[in-house]
């Protein structure tokens, strides 16, 4: 690599081409934007898959897609939405806003951050590449053994899944280490833990979940990969392997994972409500402790996904009760949000609409969750459309509503333009209507006995009308994202220029220009209270602070761009792909793996010795 | 702000203490091996009385001994004892969780295999 | 003010501002170690669940022998002690002490990996316990194999540090580089402290 | 219930009967489950209305007007926070007690059934993608259609020969997963006669969507006659021929044989030449490689469903097609289109051949 970091450090930044700039960037804001853009595209792909699913299920005995393709569709839909849409969209907010909210110039390990991004993008592309080979994963998003074994899934379909998830897991773990460290160690002076913005708390707790649950799925995937590629029998029956082990390991990861998907959403809503109610968050410390408690309990309830396996009454009772307990801290959150609104002066801007929609819809999903927690009743609901209704209410009604709220709220800070309010509200109403029309009927069709993951159903069981409603709803829901996309394009072309602080925000990111300059804070902020910006305004006796000037970054050192994160990511992907394409040769690793491994190792070595002294930006 | 940082390891613990701990660690490992030999290995024959009284406690004793070793390394060699409390919490919490998960999985599996609904009728 | 702003980055531990009195890289290593606890917990659980699954081929009692692993355990324990002495040397700026103990540590690492390679080949060729012979074998090799990989990575890491130390690139101000590697090394050691009794002794003593 | 009932009544008006519904339990197991479920739903609906109501009211009440002064800055209140921690805990306690009771109640198979007899044991075997049922006490094997007598507790012992399936008859019991490496059990006591659909509920591969089956709850008399006919089939060889010497028909004291078993079969076979042709085709086409007409744990012909009684089966092809002549013909001629990926791979079958085969199958009553 001729372009060493040192050259960057001293050559003028302007010379770099835009492409190289983005490929080598270690700026958390650029990385955040790339996370967001790629995740939104993956979200649309996942949504498109859902639309095909819904079209197939529109009427009984439909023949739009083959059974196998249907299985690929829902597997990829679930996998995409969870790992390639909701998690990385959350990661976009982590990246862009955690440093801003805590008053830092960047994350603790900018190059590691870039590596997380590239591994994520490569992993996502790799997973979706399988469609081109007509061999997309088809074993469901939880890939139960032995259906996922070589014997019952001989093609490369499940190899893509195993390796894809393995890759994504590494990205998440690296980001987990990074953000945990950043939050603990990079806070502005005076920002004690209990003065941190609540979103930052949510991220911190989420990272604890990532760090402690992803290793479990990593090991499980390693076993599955060994089973599929090297002839072991961890989950194969032929040598007494036990498929229950897979289920346990998957859900030991899987349940914390769903809180990984929802806690950032809790955090975003907890930031938005106070700003638009013009009133601080009600019960800040209870909010913090309830999140910690949810996370903690989240590790002790995994077997509620396995009530139908017949674990025996003692285990069923334990997991049933433990699961119900989670309703208590979650209830505390809901009530504290209402307490935040109570007595406020609600400013009905688009972000508030979505945040309120989130609360209303999440309650519904949470309550159906509690119904699932009743183990005997769950024997009727598990693997029926009732579950599908439950988890879309928490995942879409919860996570997506909240992430959308976050997008409208923080868009001006990220891009310096305000999204159109009228279109935003239209987006909200269409989404709310479409969402409920899609998923509310699923509760009933589930109770009426429709199993999930079936590619068609016979007429005469009473499923027809409800499914048709869901399908209509799904298209309505999809069109709400067309409105959103149009809003983005329109704003891009001719949106209103955003001031630094369009919403009368409470947190530090609103004190700097929109969009922020590369170094975020020209002057390191010092924090003396929660909601520091409100404190500042109150002290100054103004409603809006004077627009902060864009300043020259003379003398500010930033970390240098680097190629190594991208190179290491490519090497890592190559290594794993090599394992996949190895066809049962005697030698465990093929030449592709070895090349990949060598690239990774070399990359890490060069990375470790690359000077990190920054360059002085000139813009 | 560098005054915040933990002082170097040497400030708290001298080489002598490291050596003392090393000795204890070896003694503990030796005890583990001796325990095994006494209960099940070569020494069993020469001291049958001790063997029968110890072997029911074999697993428990082993776990206690290794936990102690673990504690020594973590606290002194990894310097947890003198470092930030956050680090103790971080490691402690993960360890507790890891232990609970191991125990829970182990219980779920042994329990399943012994109760009637897994009885297994030959097909 | 600008000078204060300069300190926001903690890539170089030491002089920079951090909110907690601990360098970021060290904190990150601890976070990583916490995560690794769950990684090994999963591997150990699997071994415990599967150690009796050896309808075909040899089982634990047929292959495990105490002396060799005891030696391996001792070597790892030694190395933990060595690296802590090396770190002490680095912090005191005592290059001789640093080099002496660090090279001993690396040697221990090499020895341990060598022991494992020997053990595995011994099991495979003499005891006929192939990787896929039975589940006991697969879960045993996977657990100890991953531990061995950790040891190998640690050895490599310490070796590069030894090279640095040789060239005089680890002055007391940079002792953190070694401290972090040492943390990792100790963790690998404590994992073995669990594996030794849980995997070897308990499987034998039943 | 009122809310649910209203919604469901509304639905029923436009979509008709719900034979697979979990909401109309027809046996003790499903009723036990339904009780806890309904209790939870009542409470959940109550909580829902309350919380959403308060939310909506708050939104409406505190909407801001331009020029509003800054609202009072409240940071929290320990008292109300404690209250709203305790109330949900109480609600959950109300749910928890019956939950645990129901868990223990459903876990244990009753030893005596409602009609005073011992529970009827049935072995269930999941195959990709059809169900096999064996009655060890009666010496019967059948597929895709279980017959059970009214008011007798049914004790199902289940296993899979390939991947994990899940056995589910919504009106009678919850799901129970079916594993390849261990036996699982579920039980129920039917209190209504009729035909009730069931399904495989665990994703099990390509045709998971078409792994349905039917439960036939028969009156004791009907069940006895069905048993007799199946047991008669046990005297046939795999090809459906009467064996020269009838070997040990199992003696089943519980169900008296009504007609001499062998006779039933003997006269149907001889009558129609088309039937005889069909029987020859069944041999020639290799059907017997996978199927058997012998209902007693045959050793050969166990790759596909046992065809004993196929002539009267309500549904074929994993409970998906009405067992009509056209459907049988479609099945024989276009197997892989009707159910892509299915394990039945046969050569082309002409119309005439199909007609003959079907005629033969129809004799298997
Ligand atoms: C964002 C993701 C998310 C979230 C937050 C949750 C939250 C919860 N989930 Fe959900 N769940 C999923 C995602 C999620 N889930 C997914 C994806 C699946 C399916 C996986 C698959 O099979 O593919 C699933 C499946 C699932 C099952 C297994 C169903 C089955 O397959 O048989 C169960 C069973 O207990 C369950 C329970 C719960 C509970 C009790 C909560 C609780 O955390 C909810 C708590 C919230 C409330 C209760 C509402 C607010 C509280 C109040 C207003 C206070 C008053 C309330 C009371 C007194 C009750 N979930
Ligand atoms: C965050 C997670 C998430 C989200 C947001 C969604 C969103 C949606 N899901 Fe989701 N779903 C899951 C997670 C999610 N799902 C999971 C985990 C499963 C289980 C998988 C499994 O069983 O393994 C599942 C399963 C699942 C099923 C059950 C399949 C089955 O069991 O057979 C169905 C059926 O209706 C469904 C429907 C939908 C619909 C209609 C949406 C809608 O919200 C989608 C809205 C539509 C859009 C957003 C489309 C927008 C795009 C356009 C308008 C065109 C764009 C143009 C181009 C790209 C060129 N999903
Ligand atoms: Cu069998 Cu689904
Ligand atoms: Cu869960």
The residue among C15, C23, C25, C138 with the most chain A CBs within 10 A of its CB, best to mutate, is C138
For residue D248, is it within any domain? Answer: yes
The two beta strands, D130-135 and D145-149, are unpaired
Q: What proportion of chain A, given as a percentage, has pLDDT over 70?
A: 95
For residue D305, is it within any domain? Answer: yes
Whether omega for the bond prior to residue A515 falls within 30 degrees of 0, making it cis, is yes
Q: Is the pLDDT of residue B100 over 60?
A: yes
pLDDT of residue A9: 42
Q: Tell me the count of A-C CB pairs closer than 8 A.
A: 138
What is the pLDDT confidence band of residue D364, given thresholds at 50, 70 and 90?
confident
* Nearest residue (CA) to ligand 2, atom 55: A44
Q: Is the pLDDT of residue D15 over 80?
A: no
- More confident of the two residues A422 and A584: A422
| C42/A191 CB distance under 8 A | no
The residue among C42, C80, C97, C196 with the most chain B CBs within 10 A of its CB, best to mutate, is C80
pLDDT of residue B14: 67
Classified as helix, coil or strand, A134 is coil
The two beta strands, D315-316 and D321-322, are antiparallel
pLDDT of residue A590: 77
Residues D215 and D163 in one domain: yes
Averaged pLDDT, A527-535: 91
Q: Which domain holds residue D305?
A: 233-252+264-361
Of the listed ranges A111-125, A559-573, B35-49, B68-82, the least confidently predicted one is B35-49
pLDDT of residue B6: 40
Rounded CA-CA distance A441/A446 in Å is 9
For residue A263, is it within any domain? Answer: yes
| C43/A219 CB distance under 8 A | yes
Give me the count of residues in chain C.
206
Q: What proportion of chain A, given as a percentage, has pLDDT over 90?
A: 74
Q: Residue D189: which of D145, D151, D231 has the closest Cα?
A: D151
Q: Is the pLDDT of residue D363 over 50?
A: yes
Q: What are phi and psi of A198, to 5 degrees?
A: -65, -30
pLDDT of residue D4: 53
Q: Is the CB of A251 under 6 A from ligand 1?
A: no
Q: Is the CB of D165 under 6 A from ligand 3?
A: yes
Q: Is the CB of D158 under 6 A from ligand 3?
A: no
Rounded CA-CA distance A248/C51 in Å is 18
B111–chain A nearest CA distance, Å: 9
Rounded CA-CA distance A37/A574 in Å is 24
- Which of A313-327, D14-28, D317-331 has the highest average model confidence (pLDDT)? A313-327
The two beta strands, A417-418 and A496-497, are antiparallel
Q: What are phi and psi of D168, to 5 degrees?
A: -150, 120
Tell me the pLDDT tens digit for each residue of A160-187. 999 999 999 999 999 999 999 999 999 9
Rounded CA-CA distance A313/D106 in Å is 9
| A384/D18 CB distance under 8 A | no
Q: Is the pLDDT of residue B116 over 70?
A: no
Q: What are phi and psi of D136, to 5 degrees?
A: -60, -30
The two beta strands, A417-418 and D130-135, are unpaired
Q: Is the pLDDT of residue D250 over 50?
A: no
The per-residue pLDDT of chain B, averaged, comes to 75
Q: Are A117 and A26 in contact (CB under 8 A)?
A: no
Residues D25 and D103 in one domain: yes
Q: Is the pLDDT of residue A617 over 60?
A: no
Averaged pLDDT, D278-292: 85
* Nearest residue (CA) to ligand 2, atom 24: A78
For residue D193, is it within any domain? Answer: yes
What is the pLDDT confidence band of residue A409, given thresholds at 50, 70 and 90?
very high
pLDDT of residue B4: 37
Residues D244 and D204 in one domain: no
Q: What are phi and psi of A137, to 5 degrees?
A: -50, 140
Q: What angle do CA A159, A91, A83 make, to 5 degrees?
A: 25
Tell me the pLDDT tens digit for each residue of A104-129. 988 999 999 999 999 999 999 999 99
What is the pLDDT confidence band of residue B105, given thresholds at 50, 70 and 90?
confident
H or E, element range at D196:
strand D194-200
Q: What angle do CA A481, A484, A488 make, to 5 degrees?
A: 140
Q: Which chains touch A (3 or more CB pairs under 8 A)?
A: B, C, D
Regions in chain C scoring below 50 on pLDDT? 1-15
| C183/B1 CB distance under 8 A | no
CA of A325, nearest ligand number: 1
* Nearest residue (CA) to ligand 3, atom 1: D165
pLDDT of residue B10: 45
For residue D87, is it within any domain? Answer: yes
Q: Is the CB of D200 under 6 A from ligand 3?
A: yes
Rounded CA-CA distance A370/A363 in Å is 11
B106–chain D nearest CA distance, Å: 18
- More confident of the two residues A84 and C19: A84
Tell me the pLDDT tens digit for each residue of D59-95. 999 998 887 888 888 888 889 999 999 999 999 999 9
For residue D71, is it within any domain? Answer: no
| D106/A448 CB distance under 8 A | no
Count of domains for chain D? 3
CA–centroid distance for A303 within its chain: 23
Q: Which chains touch B (3 or more CB pairs under 8 A)?
A: A, C, D
Which CATH number is A380's domain given?
1.20.210.10
Residues D314 and D347 in one domain: yes
Q: Is the CB of A138 under 6 A from ligand 2?
A: no
Classified as helix, coil or strand, B25 is helix
Q: Is the pLDDT of residue D266 over 70?
A: no
Looking at the complex, does the CB of residue A177 fall below 8 Å from at least one CB of chain B? no
Nearest by CB to A555, from C2, C31, C38: name it.
Answer: C2
For residue A577, is it within any domain? Answer: no
Q: Which of A82, A390, A400 to mutate to test the pocket of ligand 1 (most atoms within 8 A of CB)?
A: A390
* CB contacts, 8 Å: D55 with chain A: 338, 341, 356, 359-360, 363
What is the pLDDT confidence band of residue D298, given thresholds at 50, 70 and 90?
low
Nearest by CB to B97, from A212, A312, A314: name it.
Answer: A212
State the DSSP string of D131-192. EEEEETTTTEEEESEEEEETT--EEEEEEESSS-EEEE-TTT---EEE-SSS-EEEEE-B-S
pLDDT of residue A423: 96
Residue A149 C-alpha to ligand 2 middle, in angstroms?
26
Q: Which domain holds residue A167?
A: 27-558
Q: Is the pLDDT of residue D7 over 90?
A: no
Q: Is the CB of A276 under 6 A from ligand 2?
A: no
Rounded CA-CA distance D83/D85 in Å is 5
For residue A618, is it within any domain? Answer: no
Count of domains for chain A? 1
Averaged pLDDT, D27-47: 94
For residue A55, is it within any domain? Answer: yes
Tell me the pLDDT tens digit for each residue of A287-336. 999 999 999 999 999 999 999 998 888 889 999 999 999 999 999 999 99
Q: Is the CB of A74 under 6 A from ligand 1?
A: no
Residues D25 and D93 in one domain: yes
Residues D154 and D97 in one domain: no
H or E, element range at A208:
helix A198-230
pLDDT of residue A614: 53
Tell me the pLDDT tens digit for each residue of A38-52. 999 999 999 999 999
Tell me the pLDDT tens digit for each residue of D110-161. 888 877 888 999 999 999 989 999 998 888 888 999 999 999 999 999 999 9
What is the pLDDT confidence band of residue B119, given thresholds at 50, 70 and 90?
very low
For residue A171, is it within any domain? Answer: yes
The residue among D183, D186, D302 with the most chain B CBs within 10 A of its CB, best to mutate, is D183
Query: Residue C31's closest chain A neighbor by CA?
Result: A177
Classified as helix, coil or strand, A597 is helix
pTM, 2 dp: 0.92
For residue D127, is it within any domain? Answer: yes
Q: Is the CB of D125 under 6 A from ligand 3?
A: no
The per-residue pLDDT of chain A, averaged, comes to 91
A328–chain C nearest CA distance, Å: 27
Domain ranges of chain B: 1-81, 83-123
pLDDT of residue D182: 85
Strand-by-strand arrangement of the D130-135 sheet: D140-143, D130-135, D120-127, D154-160, D184-188
CA-CA distances (angstroms) from residue D327 to C42, D287, D349? 51, 17, 14
* CB contacts, 8 Å: C20 with chain A: 184-185
The full set of domains in chain C, from first to last, is 22-204 (1.20.120.80)
Tell me the pLDDT tens digit for each residue of A439-489. 999 999 999 999 999 999 988 889 999 999 999 999 999 999 999 999 999
Nearest atom, ligand 2, residue A141 CA: 23
| Number of helices (H), then strands (E), in chain C | 8, 0
- More confident of the two residues A523 and A409: A409
Residues D352 and D268 in one domain: yes
Looking at the complex, does the CB of residue A218 fall below 8 Å from at least one CB of chain C? yes
Averaged pLDDT, A427-448: 96
Rounded CA-CA distance D85/A121 in Å is 42
What is the pLDDT confidence band of residue A16, given thresholds at 50, 70 and 90?
low
Burial class (CB within 10 angstroms; exposed 0-12, middle 13-18, buried 19+) of A606: middle
Give me the interface pTM, i.e. the ipTM: 0.91
* CB contacts, 8 Å: D212 with chain A: 458
Burial class (CB within 10 angstroms; exposed 0-12, middle 13-18, buried 19+) of D83: exposed
Using the CB atoms, write b or e for B44-82: b if 16+ within 10 Å. Answer: beeeeeebeebbeebeebbeebbeebbebbbebbbbbee
For residue D1, is it within any domain? Answer: no
Query: Residue C44's closest chain B neighbor by CA?
Result: B102
CA–centroid distance for A503 within its chain: 25
């Amino acid at each position: 690599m001729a372009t060493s970091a040192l050259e960057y450090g001293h050559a003028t930044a302007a010379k770099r081409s835009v492409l190289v700039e983005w490929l080598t960037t270690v700026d958390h804001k650029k990385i955040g934007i790339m996370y967001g853009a790629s995740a939104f595209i993956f979200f649309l792909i996942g949504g498109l898959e859902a639309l095909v699913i819904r079209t197939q299920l529109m009427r009984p005995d439909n023949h739009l897609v083959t059974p196998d393709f249907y299985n690929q569709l829902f597997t990829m839909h679930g996998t995409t939405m969870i790992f390639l849409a909701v998690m990385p969209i959350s990661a976009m907010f982590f990246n862009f806003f955690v440093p801003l909210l805590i008053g830092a110039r960047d994350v603790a390990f900018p190059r590691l951050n870039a590596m997380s991004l590239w591994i994520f993008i490569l992993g996502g592309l790799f997973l979706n590449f399988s469609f081109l080979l007509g061999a997309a994963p088809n074993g469901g998003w939880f890939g139960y053994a032995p259906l996922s074994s070589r014997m019952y899934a001989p093609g490369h379909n499940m190899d893509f899944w195993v390796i894809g998830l393995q890759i994504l897991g590494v990205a998440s773990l690296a980001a987990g280490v990074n953000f945990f460290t950043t939050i603990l160690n990079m806070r502005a002076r005076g920002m004690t833990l209990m003065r941190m913005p609540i979103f930052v708390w949510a991220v911190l707790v989420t990272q604890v979940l990532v760090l402690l649950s992803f290793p479990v799925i990593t090991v499980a995937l390693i076993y599955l990969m060994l089973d599929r590629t090297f002839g072991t029998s961890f989950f194969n029956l032929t040598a007494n392997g036990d498929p229950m082990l897979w289920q346990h390991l998957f859900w030991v990861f899987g349940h914390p994972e769903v809180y990984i998907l929802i806690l950032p959403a809790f955090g975003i809503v907890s930031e938005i409500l106070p700003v638009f109610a013009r009133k601080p968050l009600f019960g800040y410390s209870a909010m913090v402790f309830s999140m910690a408690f949810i996370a903690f309990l989240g590790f002790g309830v995994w077997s509620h996904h396995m009530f139908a396996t017949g674990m025996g009454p003692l285990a069923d009772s334990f997991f049933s009760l433990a699961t119900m307990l989670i309703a208590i801290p979650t209830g505390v959150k809901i009530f504290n949000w209402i307490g935040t609104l109570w007595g406020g002066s609600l400013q009905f801007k688009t972000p508030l609409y979505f945040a309120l929609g989130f609360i209303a819809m999440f309650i519904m999903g949470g309550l159906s969750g509690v119904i699932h927690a009743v183990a005997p009743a769950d024997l009727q609901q598990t693997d029926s459309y009732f579950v599908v209704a439950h988890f879309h209410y928490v995942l879409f009604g919860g996570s997506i509503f909240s992430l959308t709220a976050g997008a409208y709220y923080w868009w001006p800070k990220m891009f310096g333009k305000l999204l159109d309010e009228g279109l935003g509200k239209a987006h909200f109403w269409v989404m709310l209507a479409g969402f409920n029309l899609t998923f509310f009927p699923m509760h009933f069709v589930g109770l009426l006995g429709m199993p999930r993951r079936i590619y068609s159903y016979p007429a005469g069981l009473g499923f027809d009308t409800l499914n048709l409603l869901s399908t209509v709803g799904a298209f309505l829901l999809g069109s709400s994202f067309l409105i959103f996309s149009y809003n983005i394009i329109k704003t891009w072309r001719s949106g209103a220029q955003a001031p630094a602080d369009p919403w009368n925000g409470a947190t530090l990111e609103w004190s700097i220009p929109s969009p922020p300059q590369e170094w975020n804070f020209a002057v390191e902020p010092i924090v003396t209270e929660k909601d520091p910006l409100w404190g500042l305004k109150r002290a100054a006796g103004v409603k809006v602070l004077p627009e902060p000037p864009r300043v020259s970054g003379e003398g500010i050192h930033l970390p240098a761009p680097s190629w190594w994160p991208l190179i290491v990511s490519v090497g890592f992907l190559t290594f794993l792909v090599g394992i996949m394409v190895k066809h049962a040769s005697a030698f465990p690793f093929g030449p592709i793996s070895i090349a990949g491994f060598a690239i990774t190792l070399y990359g890490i070595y060069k990375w470790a010795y690359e000077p990190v002294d920054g360059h002085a930006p000139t813009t | 702000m560098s005054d915040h940082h933990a002082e170097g390891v040497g400030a708290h613990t001298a080489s002598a203490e490291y050596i003392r701990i090393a000795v204890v660690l070896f003694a503990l490992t030796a005890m583990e091996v001796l325990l095994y030999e006494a209960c099940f290995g070569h020494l069993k024959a020469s001291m049958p009385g001790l063997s029968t009284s110890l072997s029911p406690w074999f697993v428990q004793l082993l776990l206690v001994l290794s936990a102690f070793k673990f504690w020594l390394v973590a606290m002194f060699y990894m310097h947890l004892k003198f470092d930030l409390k956050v680090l103790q919490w971080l490691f402690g919490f993960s360890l507790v969780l890891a232990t609970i998960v191991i125990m829970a999985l182990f219980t779920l599996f042994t329990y399943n295999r012994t109760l009637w609904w897994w009885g297994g009728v030959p097909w | 003010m600008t000078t204060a702003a300069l300190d926001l980055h903690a890539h170089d531990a030491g002089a920079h501002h951090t909110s907690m009195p601990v360098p970021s890289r060290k904190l990150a290593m601890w976070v990583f170690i916490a995560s690794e606890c769950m990684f090994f917990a999963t591997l150990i659980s699997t071994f415990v669940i599967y150690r009796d699954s050896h309808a075909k081929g040899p089982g634990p009692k047929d292959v495990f022998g105490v002396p060799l692993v005891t030696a391996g355990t001792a070597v790892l324990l030694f190395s933990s002690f060595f690296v802590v002495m090396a770190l002490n040397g680095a912090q005191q700026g005592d290059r001789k002490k640093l080099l002496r103990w660090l090279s001993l540590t690396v040697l221990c690492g090499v020895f341990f990996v060598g022991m494992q390679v020997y053990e595995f080949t011994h099991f495979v060729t003499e005891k006929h316990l192939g990787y896929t012979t039975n589940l006991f074998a697969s879960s045993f090799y996977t657990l100890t194999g991953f531990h061995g990989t950790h040891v190998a990575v640690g050895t490599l890491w310490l070796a590069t540090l030894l090279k640095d130390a040789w060239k005089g690139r680890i002055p007391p101000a940079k002792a953190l580089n070694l401290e972090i590697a040492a943390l990792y090394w100790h963790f690998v050691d404590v994992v073995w402290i669990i594996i030794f009794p849980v995997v070897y002794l308990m499987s034998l003593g039943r | 219930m009122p809310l649910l009932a209203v919604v469901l009544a509304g639905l029923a008006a436009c979509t008709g009967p719900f034979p697979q519904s979990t909401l109309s339990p027809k046996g003790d197991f499903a009723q036990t489950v339904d009780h806890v479920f309904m209790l939870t739903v009542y409470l959940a609906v109550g909580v829902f209305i309350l919380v959403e109501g308060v939310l909506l009211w708050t939104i409406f009440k505190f909407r801001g007007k331009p020029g509003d002064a800054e609202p009072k800055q409240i940071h929290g209140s320990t008292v109300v926070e404690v209250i709203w921690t305790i109330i949900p805990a109480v609600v959950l306690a109300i749910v928890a007690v019956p939950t645990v009771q129901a868990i223990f109640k459903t876990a244990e198979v009753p030893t005596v059934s409602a009609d005073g007899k011992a529970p009827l044991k049935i072995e269930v075997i999941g195959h990709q993608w059809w169900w096999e049922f064996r009655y060890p006490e009666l010496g019967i094997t059948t597929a895709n259609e279980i017959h059970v007598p009214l008011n007798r507790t049914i004790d199902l012992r289940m296993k899979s020969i390939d991947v994990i399936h899940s056995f589910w008859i919504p009106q009678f019991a919850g799901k129970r997963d079916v594993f390849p490496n261990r036996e699982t059990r579920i039980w129920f006591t039917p209190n209504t006669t009729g035909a009730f659909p069931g399904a495989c509920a665990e994703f099990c591969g390509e045709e998971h969507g078409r792994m349905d089956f039917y439960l036939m709850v028969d009156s004791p008399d009907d069940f006895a006659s069905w048993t007799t006919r199946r047991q008669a089939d046990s005297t046939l060889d795999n090809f459906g021929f009467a064996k020269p010497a009838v070997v040990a028909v199992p003696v089943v004291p519980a169900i008296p044989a009504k007609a001499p078993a062998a006779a039933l079969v003997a006269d149907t076979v001889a009558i129609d030449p088309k039937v005889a042709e069909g029987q020859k085709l069944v041999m020639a086409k290799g059907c017997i490689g996978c199927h058997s007409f012998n209902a007693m744990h045959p050793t050969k012909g166990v790759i596909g469903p046992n065809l004993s009684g196929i002539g009267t089966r309500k549904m074929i092809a994993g409970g998906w097609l009405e067992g009509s002549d056209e459907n049988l013909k479609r099945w024989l001629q276009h197997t892989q289109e009707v159910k892509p990926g299915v394990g039945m791979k046969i050569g082309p079958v002409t119309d005439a051949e199909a007609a003959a085969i079907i005629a033969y199958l129809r004799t298997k009553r």
